[in-house]
Structure 1
């Protein structure tokens, strides 16, 4: 440890938590770790980390505690009997924005300062300059601990609302998971036609890379609420989605996800937007649907 090292505690030693602790050990910080189940801290202990017997003990060991657990409920369970007075909690667990706000209030009632974070990389990306973390919560708390947090990844402060970091993070996850599911769907159709994932990978990468151009082109018009079907028309897009759906159906693979897409585009046409841009679908999506299971917990 260097002479200016500060103590950092890490609660939760899944792949992300272990990577966080490793970054701080590399930087010469005194690191205390805790995990509910045993056996995940061996390598960290061998490198000089300290094992806390309880989560409460881990919080007591450092002014700054990073939490990497499955969700907000797990955080409350782990820290239920901890003295949080004067401590700083940075919750880097994934959860819904409303839960981030609820935990921030819970932490404040117990005397802690609280920041929410959304980590925009996998564990291997931590400690690398190209990686980033959304952060929100009290600005003075963020600024006081920014140098330590920036060791993990470049922090992108999104404001005082503790839910905003999770809003931005989950928006990225909307894009990520729908893209990954789309890739799996394409692979299933490819395999049904005698192709492999490797066969279609160059084309999948090209499509993924080109999406940024579509987003950049559409965003200004969307924000201006202009949906003229100049470059593309919703009716044309709906026909294309139908072709995708029937290609999958003819291949004998599951079409549930594609059916949902086709239904959305049909609704847009039936609502009278066939000559407009497909961005009209945003209005249909915002009009609402039954809440997802667990939403607003």
Structure 2
């Protein structure tokens, strides 16, 4: 049953794409009075049936409540949507996907217009919103006071995780985790490519691959510990020299299977560069230093 709406913070939601609609729907279901606006008014129809108030303009929607949540196409859209709005004394929570520099600039922009600001990075897809068992959550950065003031409300769609006063940190955490995800997808793509021409069922390889990736994932804790200590040889089992010595096997196997090595070669090249610096007793952690300019 919905909670008592008297006890729940009213929310204005700007942007009703798939994610914005999912967010809006969970606040409605939890009993939060909700005002919505979208450039395409038809997208608000189903939410109106569920109890949302549909504003005729972004300015009207912003005027309706103190807590304003944005989930728009991009940073440029934020400028366009909020151009004619009065943001004085508003709590602006921006869940529009962007980079750290955009988030920092947007925080200054909001302060100049009299608003308080939080930036967010959503670690979920729309079906995970309002479904806590799926593990979705949202990074938030910017004003800690603002985060704490609205934490209960922000927790409704997905777990709210505060990562720092620097407004760019939510976007940075978001991109860091997604970058690792794409690296994993790249490795999985190469693995499936290797068996593509063979009489091996991809469905049979999949659980082996998933279990292996899960088994390797805890290695990130050792990497973090080594970065913190500065000792990249601590706890090393398979050192850099040993791993570089094994790379020709991966490359020759790819060649034999008619598979491009382009997903692996850049990483192997970094490993060889680090080894050439005389770091053979290290783990792979030293590769990170080669990436940072």
- Report if TM-score (shorter chain) is over 0.5: yes
CA positional deviation for 1:242: 3.6
Moved over 6 A (4+): none
Farther off after superposition, 242-251 or 173-182: 242-251
- Which of the numbers 228, 236, 239 marks the counterpart of 2:242? 236
CA positional deviation for 1:241: 3.7
1:192-217 alpha-carbon deviations (Å, 9 max, x no partner): 33434312111121122113321223
1:126-178 alpha-carbon deviations (Å, 9 max, x no partner): 22444322211112211111111111222222222111122222221121121
Task: Indicate yes or no: 2:279 matched with 1:273.
Answer: yes
Equivalent residue of 1:257, what SS?
Answer: coil
Structure 1 unmatched runs, 5+: 289-297
CA positional deviation for 1:99: 0.9
CA positional deviation for 1:38: 4.7
TM-score calculated relative to the size of structure 1:
0.88
Partner residue in 1 for 2:213: 208
TM-score calculated relative to the size of structure 2:
0.89
Aligned partners of 1:101 and 1:163 also within 8 Å? yes
> Quick one: structure 1 residues 45 and 3, their matched pair in 2 at CA, closer, same or farther if it must change by over 3 Å?
closer
Count of matched residue positions in the alignment of Structure 1 and Structure 2: 287
Provide the aligned C-alpha RMSD in A.
2.1
Partner residue in 2 for 1:65: 68
Partner residue in 1 for 2:291: 285
Partner residue in 2 for 1:263: 269
**Cα separation, 1, equivalents of 2:34 and 2:23:** 10
**Cα separation, 1, equivalents of 2:26 and 2:36:** 13
| Residues 4-19 of structure 1 mapped to structure 2, 5 A cutoff | 4=6, 5-19=8-22
Partner residue in 2 for 1:293: none
CA positional deviation for 1:253: 3.1
**Cα separation, 2, equivalents of 1:12 and 1:283:** 40
